[in-house]
A = this chain, B = another copy of it.
């Protein structure tokens, strides 16, 4: 991290509803991530109830541990919401009307055709020691303090209001005040290989990473993300250093990489299909519509998604998809022969370039010795080729559906990009 000293932060979430498990605190995790990105070290997260002593005690102990203290919640106009009066008490100042804040609240309500109540008007009264930070998305303003050797920011608990305040005000302000290291992140998204296999392939590469670049493996369902983080002085250099390492990694694991940063597998599929000017259709048995759902959850997917069929019983695999009755009776619905016919026929039925199929035993019932729960066949047909794969998955129905979907999308990805083995 060069010569810059580590800057520390504490996050305090306020509200009984959090402690009692009535709502999930997604704010603290999100703030953690944002601070990590700019090189601020979070040293503690605390959740306290709507309780005077607990909140004051949280203030006192936070200022001993951290330089930056970020608070969410406890800012509504009702009596349970204590953050504002307690901040005034803690910093020993009055609470006074801020005309600019009143104007903002008034405008907020006018735009929505609602009356300003006395309770709402109170939201424009702020501790005199704070800097008023406008909240365009709600009625509780942000409050910024520089007191007791720390900076303090109080934000509403509503996630999108908090996020806007963080992005528009808090993060730029922290960068302005503190000498932070420059940090450059890039995430490599891989599919079709497990974490330990990937780590094994990349062992030498990882050992030779320059000191100022850190690597993290972030596994999720059927996919592994590799996050590279470079710390240093000059942003442009960091970016070059990371890209150089990614080029090296690509030589080793290139065929498993489908994208970078926030691109999802289904987005990557869309991008590839649009580039190749190709269209796709799915015949889903055990995945029950989930793959089509993933693909159509992407805006603009109607450009390349032709349609799907979910023939959940043999009768319909035959009647609607023309899988031969003898194949179904002799080989079974969960067989290589069946998924081949499903993939080829769905392609033709929907005038698609790629036809994909899944058939398996999702569980928990329906398995037997020869084909236990978790046995799945998948296929991809295009041009005059059809490839297949047998998966042996888990005992868990949802997991089997999700893992099959990832495997099918990955099969499609390799087929489009001509990287099948």
Contacts and interface: CB of A to CB of B under 8 A. Distances in A.
A180 interface: no
A310 B297 CA distance: 13
B300 A365 contact: yes
A46 interface: yes
A29 B33 contact: no
Count of this chain's copies in the oligomeric assembly: 2
Nearest to A305: B312
B47 A45 contact: yes
Contacts of A19: 32, 41-45
Interface in A396-421: 397-398, 401
A302 B312 contact: yes
Contact of A350 (B28, B288, B295, B316): B316
B299 A289 contact: no
Nearest to A320: B349
A296 B309 contact: no
Given A21-B32, A293-B293, 8 more contacts: A21-B29, A22-B36, A43-B51, A46-B47, A288-B308, A289-B296, A289-B310, A307-B311
A265 interface: no
A30 interface: yes
Interface string A270-302: 000000000000001001111111011101111
Interface in A1-51: 18-22, 24-25, 28-36, 41-49, 51
Contacts of A193: none
Contact of A20 (B32, B291, B296, B300): B32
A61 interface: yes
Secondary structure call for the A interface: mixed
A297 to B, nearest CB: 6
Interface string A333-369: 0000000000000000111000000000011111000
A284 to B, nearest CB: 7
A253 interface: no
A44 B20 CA distance: 10
Contacts of A41: 19
Contact of A307 (B29, B48, B316): B316
13 contacts: A20-B33, A21-B29, A22-B216, A44-B47, A289-B291, A289-B296, A290-B296, A300-B365, A302-B366, A305-B312, A306-B313, A306-B316, A307-B309
Given A61-B61, A296-B312, A43 B33 contact: no
A193 to B, nearest CB: 21
A310 B308 contact: yes
Contacts of A310: 289, 292, 296, 307-310
Contacts of A20: 32-33, 36, 42
